[in-house]
Amino acid sequence: MADASTRADSPADAHISFGVRGMTCASCVSHVEKALRGAPGVLSASVNLATERADVTLTPDADLAQLARAVDEAGYEPALETIEFGVGGMTCASCVAHVEKALRAVPGVIAAEVNLATERARVRALGGGDMAKALAKALRRAVAEAGYEPRELETGAKAADRERAAREQEAASLRKRLIVAAALSAPVVFLEMGAHTIPGLGDWLMAAIGHQTIRYLSFILATLVLVGPGRPFYEKGFPSLWRGHPDMNSLVAIGTMSAYLYSVVATFAPSLLPHGAADVYYESAVVIVTLILFGRTLEARAKGRTSEAIRALAALQPKTARVLRGAEQIELPIDDVVVGDLVAVRPGERIATDGIVIDGASHIDESMITGEPAPVGKRKGSEVTGATVNTTGAFTFRATRVGADTVLAGVIRMVEQAQGAKLPIQALVDRVTGVFVPAVLAIAFITFIVWLAFGPQRDVSYALVAAVAVLIIACPCAMGLATPAAIMTGTGRAAELGILFRKGEALQSLRDVTLIAFDKTGTLTRGKPELTDLEATPGVSADDALRLAASVEARSEHPIAGALVAAAKARGLSIVEARDFSATPGMGVEATADGRKIAVGADRFMTALGLDIQAFNTTAARLSAEGKTPLYVAIDGKLAAILCVADALEETSVAAVAALHAQGVATAMITGDDERTARAIAAKLGIDEVIAGVLPEGKVAALQRLREGRRIAFVGDGVNDAPALAAADVGIAIGTGTDIAIEAADVVLMSGHVSKVPAALALSRATMRNIAQNLFWAFAYNVILIPVAAGALYPVNGTLLSPMLGAGAMAFSSVFVLTNALRLRRFQPPVGASATSFETPSVEESEPEGARSIAASDREPSGSPLQVNEEENDMTTTFDVQEMSCGKCVKHVTEAVQKAEPQAQVKIDLATGKVEVSPSPKDPEGLAKIITDAGYPARVAA
């Protein structure tokens, strides 16, 4: 990644204006201004609440990234623009460095990434509102002024077709130039080199044509090669040199032109050269151009293959859809389909866009999204995904997402972003390539001087050959392609397997993971529980207990609730309306149903209600030994029944855990189950470590307990998993989970199978190995061969490398890197989604602290405090706090309190200005001062 600490480059004080979101009152303005003025390099800051803009005066070396960070840490959102566009004309890593430098010089830019393989630039900058368009124009202008071509980016199947056409056109142009160069170079090589390699040919040529005529013919042919197929090297190389940013084209241009001009002087004015030095090197100039064109042709072909995954995905999008208009079916272009259209699908057709089935049923092949081969049944109410394949049935669906909002478009977008990312390992490459070409030019100049001063006979021809060889053999291309080529191929292969790296950095982070922690429900288990056990107390009907429990749970959206309602309906029991419903986080639920007070929950919930559960001790022990957690039902204040809702293990979970162990990674399970139940489930799965009894808000703390110096990945699927996914070194979301979880994750598994976890880990490691191999080759190649080209072996064995061999070696270097990266296309995952044939044992759905608490957290209003310890909450200190007027003020006061009292629970009433802190702080007056220092005058309430 380009250096994120972009500096304001003006020699005078710089001024910048950008948007700030989330401000609602004058206190917010004060906090933002205070945060900005505290940032390094800020001379003054003014914030306008009405326009939501900040105007800042900066010193020339101000760090814009810290400016944005200061606003963010104050609790507000700096308006950041992410702009992507294409960049044409780049040929090596030095080009990338020059473009990034030009982009970083644009005012407001925080970070810039340029990818040689994808030919794309991604820029993050402070902006907002109308500044976005001006910023985009400034960025494109900067690229053009740097000598490269800014291009518009398009998405979708049409864009993929155009990109393919552009690449094919580029490849065709290179092939044409190569053929012409080879045809013109062959006679030059024959005339100049044949006399030295074929016995008698030299004498015959001298007699038939003449020495000077041969030189004239070579001059004409070499000139045609350089001004024809070789012209782009000079059109790009010399301007880059004049701008002070030489690249690989500059090296080729200087090397070939040096050999050519020296030969021209030797041909037409040999007297200007030292005696015996009037040799010609036309063959070197033309062969260098030809070999480099050959390498570029192979490189273009290989680069096209690295992006085939995206093109293949884009090609899956149907071109038309059969839309219902009244009683008729009209075939419309896919771009004309809008949300709400009814679309008919026949057997064997691809589904046009995302939607919900409203009529008919079928089985859908969703392998292009999930990577799973087995068709999935669909009926009325089921969601369908665009570009998947209908197999047997016919149905009609209502379009819910079209165009750029579809799942397929999102997949393509994520893959493109991951392919365009720069890994941390690229930082070393960027530092080297920033000085590589100037260093090579310096080495070539030193080589020329040393050969003139100390070479045999002080011959200028030796010096020229060595210097040109150094210029030609140096290869920044291989260094520039080493990382992006592997990333493109690796992430493309991952997409084919149903694994999406939302952030390219996750490729490197996942490789280093030593422990993978799983949320249990919906991850290691199917997340579709069923009632397995029900036992009532004497005098209570089991069906009646189930009917009342289901009536209460019908008010909940949790899977447990659905399981009880489904069981009641399966038994033909009637569900009645429940009133006065309430949920206690991590405990259970209560309501009134059929005129009776009903409670459903864990053992400690019953204990909190004052109920004795010893009557079910034997049953509870048996369920726990089976890896289940019992739930209890109380009716009118009396214990009525014990039941268990079980969830089968996900069919690949055992194999997935084994595959992770085989890769040397430890596993852990975080669950709300009691210790004994959790241990029983972990034993069935082969899990190494267990943290039981974890409430939803405690998952982040559980990860910290597991960390102990290790790098951790967390796998989850629910809303309450989002904080843990964000807190882990790598967050892995199950694609069948919630959008919030997916947004918080670094890696998304498009199917619900955890078998994709070891596949993602193995692919990450394979990709990073591939990158290491590429970088080793690129660096070793240059480190070893540049000295050889300079003549390091000449004093040892008389070896002086020909520039033609150098050109061939350079061409091979880039092709080797790309070919090695393409090996990732053959990657096979360690375990398939259907690789297991074992019976999946049934385990309970964690009620008391895990799964039940999920439902509770869903019911709990956002931002309300959760009770952790009742005795502590009884000890509360109240503060009178002034000048609070909005939700941001509440957040600031809460943060100030919890910074001083990390375990404190804070309850704030904006209307009265009352702030309750529990447990009571040891120094209430000191805490009041902390709140006051945060900008809100406070005192301990009487």
Any idea which residues carry the catalytic annotation?
519
Please tell me the distance from the alpha carbon of residue 714 to that of residue 731, in angstroms, as a whole number. Answer: 5
Beta-carbon contacts of 783 under 8 Å, excluding residues fewer than 6 positions away, are none
Helix H or strand E segment including 298: helix 282-306
DSSP state of 586: T
Cβ distance 585 to 853 under 8 Å? yes
Cβ distance 233 to 252 under 8 Å? yes
Please tell me the distance from the alpha carbon of residue 782 to that of residue 471, in angstroms, as a whole number. Answer: 11
DSSP secondary structure string for all residues of 222-245: HHHHHHTTTHHHHHHHHHHHHTT-
Burial class (CB in 10 A: 0-12, 13-18, 19+), 664: exposed
DSSP state of 548: H
Please name the residue ranges forming H helices in 355-425: 367-370, 407-419
Sign of CA dihedral 351, 356, 358, 359: positive
On the CB side of 390, how many CA atoms lie within 13 Å of its CA?
Answer: 28
Cβ distance 925 to 933 under 8 Å? no
Please tell me the distance from the alpha carbon of residue 717 to that of residue 607, in angstroms, as a whole number. Answer: 31
First to last CA, the chain: 56
Please name the residue ranges forming H helices in 155-247: 156-197, 201-208, 211-227, 231-242
Omega of the bond leading into 865 within 30 degrees of 0 (cis): no
- Of 211, 249, 7, nearest in space to 112 by CA: 7
Largest alpha-carbon pair distance within the chain? 124
How distant, in Å, are the alpha carbons of 866, 867, 875 from that of 870?
A: 10, 7, 9
Q: List strand residue ranges (DSSP E) for 614-701, in order.
A: 631-635, 638-648, 666-670, 689-691
Please tell me the distance from the alpha carbon of residue 816 to that of residue 485, in angstroms, as a whole number. Answer: 11
Helix, strand, coil share of the chain (percent; to 5):
50, 20, 30
Classify 66 as helix, strand or coil: helix
Tokens 């910074």 correspond to 899
